[in-house]
Chains A and B, each alone.
Chain A
Amino acid sequence: MKVSTIASNTFKEAKRDRVLYLLLFFAILCFLLSRFLGLLTVGDRVKIIKDVGLASISLFGMLMAILMGTGLVYKEIDKKTIFTLLAKPIHRWEFLLGKYLGLVLTIFIMTVLMSVIFLVVLFLHTFTIEWNILLAILYIFFELCLMTAVALVFSTFTTPILASLYSLAFYLIGHLSWSLELLIKKVKSGGGRAILKVLYVILPDLENFNFKTEVVHQLPIPTKLLGISFAYGLVYTAFLLLLAILIFRRRDFI
């Protein structure tokens, strides 16, 4: 109950943030631009619209998660609103979880909004609805949930600017770590290869949530892969939330 009260208040606060609407505006702009980009391209125009649309949802969703998530806890401490809140009989983990869920709810609504506009733009071009696209969007949303947790972790101990940089670095590493797998195959077995393998296990692999190519090019997606990706997201997010709670649990609010 306490978690849901904090979550709904976080949602109330988040939806007042102008950054959210600015990013939404740019996302819509990208959807519309994708139609013109299609005109300039040789080949399948629909693929361009789908590709740009899905990439926009992913990019602007990520920016929403990072820009808002990194200020989530920091603002409460900086503005000292946390004093009266934690003086009530609530656990610190309830506070953190409430904050996280409030922002996830905001991101969910924003993803739905962006998706609806994107699907309308696409429908006006093809006059058919492809349900597979929803699957790609669902996994983008899972990635955004994970990114919100990343931003929350950094928000518990550093300023929003630094936390945004760290989260952005995490995002870039997460999307490039797949190349380590290629490198492992090319490096001869030995010390170097072992190090690369360890790195590959430790670093996040956000490409697990990327089904854009499969959806755009209408390739089959194995159900097992969907299951593994979902489990990966769930475990990684839970781990990040636990980490945030551990950092936050013994923090002094001076």
Chain B
Amino acid sequence: MGKVLELDRVYKAYKFGFIPKKKQVLKGISFYVNEGEIFGYLGPNGAGKTTTIKSILNLIFPDAGRITIFGEDSLKPRAREKVGFLPENPYFYDYLTGREFLAFYADLLGIHGQQKEEKIKYFLQLVGMEKAADLQLRKYSRGMLQRVGLAQALLNDPALVILDEPMGGLDPIGRKEFRDIIVNLKKEGKTVFLSSHILQDIEMICDRVAIILAGEIVNQGYLADLISEKVLYTEVTVGGVPASEFSHLGESVSTSGNRVLLKVYEEQNIDRIIRLVQEKNGKIISLIPRTETLEDIFVDLVKNQ
């Protein structure tokens, strides 16, 4: 598996104000993305995710470090030939209709004639925008812009697709559809670089992740390696027995009606709870073991920082 994208000790500082003050945004970022994987780039707001993406796409110039895309230096426009990009809040020419918008990008990418028409039709359908294709973009909602933006990113059949917070403005159905599209891109052999702070999305579809905090990569690797399979605690929902009966066995989180939700940290206590419930003629409603999630790792890292 070759490396599609590689960043090697990338630094970037911005200067702000009348008397310029330097703010170091990227502090020696290094990571790589393998061919054919979905790579998740995680970080809280202001950590440097978008700055990293802009550096990759040559929208800003790093102060130091090297970025290669398919082995080419990212400074060369040729490096971006096989790259598709969807920015965080897609801003496009709002006087164009969806169809004209895609036609403009097709022209820029050198796609013409019959092929252009077919591609526009195909991608409008893929992102579910064929009905709104002849509306001006100014009349689109944020989710619709996101969709047509994704179509724009895929027009040149890119081998690497870079998506910056792609699911931000989407409703739950839209998010699922987007996830499906991203997984399908992987099936087609494309590599996807996905930046997000929505951890569930990353956890569901990414193969590998890198976590950036305050301009530094603090953790990276295969998702399976990062998240341990160890059971952290078990959530037990019990009906018909008052919470006070379990005070020595687990932590009572909430009660609603005659139901009690318990957080049980020790495994042997679960058997005791089951026996106690049977004795008191109550019933066990659910019993869910909680393993470590990406969110736990993320929250831990942020707290330690």
Q: Does B83 contact A (CB under 8 A)?
A: yes
The residue of chain B having its C-beta at the shortest distance from the C-beta of A82 within the complex is B59
Interface: B92 (CB within 8 A): yes
Contact of A250 with B by CB under 8 A: yes
List chain A residues, Cβ under 8 A from B266.
Answer: none
Expressed in whole angstroms, the minimum distance between the Cβ of B177 and any Cβ of chain A is 21
Task: Give the residue name and chain of the A residue nearest to B55 (CB).
Answer: A252
Instruction: Flag if A91 contacts B77 (CB, 8 Å).
Output: yes
Min C-beta distance of B88 to chain A, whole Å:
9
**Which of A5, A13, A83 is the most central at the interface, judged by chain B CB atoms within 10 Å of its CB?**
A83
B57 touching A12, Cβ below 8 Å: no
Q: Which residues on the A side are within 8 Å of B152 (C-beta)? A: 84
| Residues 175-208 (chain A) with a chain B CB within 8 angstroms | none
Q: Residue A125 at the B interface, CB < 8 A? A: no
- 3 shortest A-B CB distances, which residue pairs? A80-B91, A252-B60, A87-B85
Residue contact A81 to B109, C-beta cutoff 8 Å = no
Instruction: Check if A81 sits within 8 Å of B61, measured CB to CB.
Output: no
CB closest chain-A residue, reference B82: A89
- What does the 1/0 interface line of A136-171 toward B look like (CB < 8 Å)? 000000000000000000000000000000000000
Q: Identify which of B100-108, B220-228, B242-250 touches chain A.
A: B100-108
Cβ contacts B65-100/A at 8 Å (1 or 0 each): 000000000000111110101110111110110000
Q: How far is the CB of A81 from chain B (nearest CB, A)?
A: 5
For the complex formed, measure the closest distance between the CB of A157 and the CB atoms of chain B, giving whole angstroms. Answer: 14
CB-CB nearest in chain B for A252: B60
Bound complex: CA A9 to CA B101 (Å): 10
Interface status of B40 (Cβ within 8 A of chain A): no
Asked if A89 contacts B78 (CB within 8 A), the reply is yes
User: Interface size for chain B: under 10, 10 to 19, 20 to 34, or 35 or more residues?
Assistant: 20 to 34
Chain B positions within 8 Å of A, measured between CB atoms, are: 14, 54, 57-61, 77-81, 83, 85-87, 89-93, 95-96, 104-105, 107-110, 149, 152-153, 156
A interface: dominant SS: loop
Most A CB within 10 A of own CB, among B60, B108, B153: B108
Please, could you name 7 A-B residue pairs with CB atoms under 8 Å apart, sorted by A?
A: A6-B108, A79-B91, A81-B91, A86-B58, A88-B156, A89-B109, A254-B60
**Interface contact B108-A253, CB-CB below 8 Å:** no
Residues of B within 8 A of A16 (CB): 95
CB pair A90 B77 closer than 8 Å: yes
- A65-124: which residues lie under 8 A (CB-CB) from chain B? 79-91
Say if the beta carbon of A40 comes within 8 Å of chain B. Answer: no
User: A87, B77: Cβ atoms under 8 Å?
Assistant: no
The bracket for how many chain A residues form the interface is 20 to 34
For the complex formed, measure the closest distance between the CB of A92 and the CB atoms of chain B, giving whole angstroms: 9
Least CB separation from B164: chain A residue: A83
A2 to B14, CA, bound (A): 31
Indicate if the CB atoms of A1 and B110 lie closer than 8 Å: yes
| A86 contact from B59, B61, B153, B156, Cβ within 8 A | B59
Q: Mark A197-236, 1 if CB is under 8 A from B, else 0.
A: 0000000000000000000000000000000000000000
CB distance from A71 to the nearest CB of B (A): 14
Are A9 and B93 in contact, CB atoms less than 8 angstroms apart?
A: yes
Minimum distance in angstroms from A237 CB to a CB of chain B: 25
Pick from B80, B95, B149: contact of A88, CB under 8 Å:
B80
| B153: nearest chain-A partner, CB-CB | A84
A5 touches B107 (CB 8 A): yes
Distance in Å from the Cβ of A88 to the closest Cβ of chain B? 5
Among B14, B80, B87, B93, find the residue whose CB has the most chain A CB atoms closer than 10 A: B93
> How far apart are the CA atoms of A253 and B55 in the complex, in Å?
10
Q: Is B110 within 8 A of A252, CB to CB? A: no
Known: A253-B59, A253-B60. 15 other contacts (CB 8 A): A1-B110, A5-B104, A9-B104, A79-B91, A80-B89, A83-B57, A83-B59, A83-B87, A84-B90, A86-B59, A87-B87, A89-B79, A89-B109, A91-B77, A254-B60
A90 pairs with B92, CB closer than 8 A: no
The listed residue with most B CB atoms (<10 A of its CB), out of A84, A85, A90, A254, is A84
Q: Report the bound CA distance from A252 to B58 in whole Å.
A: 9
What are the residues of chain B within 8 A of A6 when measuring CB–CB?
A: 108
Residues of chain A contacted by B110 (CB below 8 angstroms): 1-2
Partner of B92, one of A1, A5, A81, A254: A81
Contacts of A87 in B (CB 8 A): 57-59, 80, 83, 85, 87
Structural contact, B57 and A86, CB atoms closer than 8 A: yes
Q: Are A12 and B95 in contact (CB under 8 A)?
A: yes
Inter-chain contacts of B109 with A (CB < 8 A): 88-89
